[in-house]
Structure 1
Amino acid sequence: MIFRDPVFDGAADPVLVFNRAEQAWWMVYTARRANQPGLPGVSWVHGTDLGVASSTDGGATWLYRGVLAGLDTEWGRHTYWAPEIIDDGETYHMYVSVIRGVPEQWPGHERHIRHYTSPDLLGWTYRSTLELSSKYVIDACVAALPGGGHRMWYKDEADDSQTWAADSDDLYSWRVRGLAVGGRAHEGPNVFELGGHHWMLVDEWRGQRVLRSSDLDGWEPQGLLLDDAPIGFHADVVGEYAFYFTHPGRLPGVGDEEYESRRSAVHVARLSVVDGRLVCDRTEVRNAPVLPVEGSVLRYGGER
Structure 2
Amino acid sequence: MSAPIYRDPIADGAADPTVIRKQGTDEWWMFYTNRQPTAEGPNFTWIHGSPIGVAVSTDDGASWHYRGTVKGLDDPTDVPGKNTHWAPEVIWAEGEYHMWLSYIPGIPDNWPGVPRTITHFTSPDLETWTRVGPLTLNGPRVIDACVLKCPDGLWRMWYKDEDAGSSTWSAVSTDLYAWRQEGLVLPGSPDAPPHEGPNVFVLGGWHWLIVDEWRGQGVYRSKDAVNWERQGIIGGEPGSDPMDIRFLRHADVVVAGDHAALYYFTHPEWDELGDKAGPPDVAARKTAVHHGRLSVVDDVLVFERDVAKGTPLLRA
TM-score (norm 2): 0.89
Kept in 2, the 8 Å contact 1:163–1:180? The answer is yes
Q: 1:165 corresponds to which residue?
A: 170
User: Are 1:193 and 2:202 an aligned pair?
Assistant: yes
Which one of the candidate residues 248, 252, 258 is aligned to 2:281?
A: 258
Q: What is the Cα deviation at residue 21 of structure 1?
A: 5.6
> In the comparison of the two structures, how many residue pairs are matched?
292
What is the CA-CA distance between 1:97 and the residue it aligns to? 0.3
Q: Does 1:116 find its partner at 2:125?
A: no
In the aligned structure 1, how far is the partner of 2:169 from the partner of 2:274?
Answer: 37
1:151 corresponds to: 156
- Alpha carbon RMSD of aligned pairs, Å? 1.6
CA apart distance, 1:10: 0.6
Contact 1:79 1:98 in 2 (8 A): yes
Which one-letter code corresponds to 2:233 in the other structure?
L
1:60 to 56, 59, 62: 62
- Counterpart of 1:47 in structure 2 is 49
Q: 1:284 aligns with which of 283, 307, 312?
A: 307
Which amino acid in structure 2 is aligned with residue 218 of structure 1? N
CA distance in 2, matches of 1:15, 1:261: 23
Paired letter, 1:109? V
Shift of 1:72: 1.3
Q: Indicate the SS of the match to 1:4.
A: coil
Structure 1: distance between partners of 2:220 and 2:268? 26
Select 1:238's aligned residue among 247, 254, 259. 254
The answer to whether the 8 A contact 2:292-2:305 is kept is yes
In structure 2, stretches of 5+ residues that fail to align are 238-244
Measure the CA separation in 1 of the matches of 2:154 and 2:106: 34
| Equivalent position to 1:101, from 102, 106, 112 | 106
The Cα shift of 1:200 comes to 0.5
Aligned residues of 1:21 and 1:120 also touching (Cα < 8 A): no
Distance in 2 (CA, whole Å) between partners of 1:271 and 1:23 is: 22
Partner of 1:274: 297
Read off the aligned partner of 1:260 and give its amino acid letter: A
Match of 2:226 in 1: 217
Quick one: distance in 2 between partners of 1:171 and 1:90? Answer: 12
Unaligned runs of 5+ in 1: 294-304
Cα distance in 1 between the residues matched to 2:136 and 2:284: 35
Does the 8 Å contact 2:151/2:225 carry over to 1?
no
Structure 1 SS opposite 2:163: helix
**Is the Cα–Cα contact under 8 Å of residues 103 and 117 in structure 2 kept in the other structure?**
yes
State the percentage of identical aligned residues. Answer: 49
> How far off its partner does 1:64 sit?
0.2
Q: Secondary structure at the match of 1:199?
A: strand
Render the CA deviation track for 1:226-269: whole Å, top value 9, x for unaligned. Answer: 11231100010001111000111013777723122111111000
Shift of the 155–256 alpha-carbon distance from structure 1 to 2, 3 Å rule, reads same
Q: Which one is further off, 263-272 or 279-288? A: 279-288
* Alpha-carbon distance, 1:121 to partner: 1.0
Given that residues 155 and 188 in structure 1 are in contact (C-alpha distance below 8 angstroms), is that contact kept between their aligned partners in structure 2?
A: yes
Aligned counterpart in structure 2 of residue 203 of structure 1, from 188, 209, 212? 212
Contact 2:40–2:46 (Cα < 8 Å) also in 1: no
Q: Kindly tell me: are residues 259 and 283 of structure 1, through their superposed partners in 2, closer, same or farther at Cα, counting changes over 3 Å?
A: same
Task: Give the superposition deviation at 1:41.
Answer: 1.4
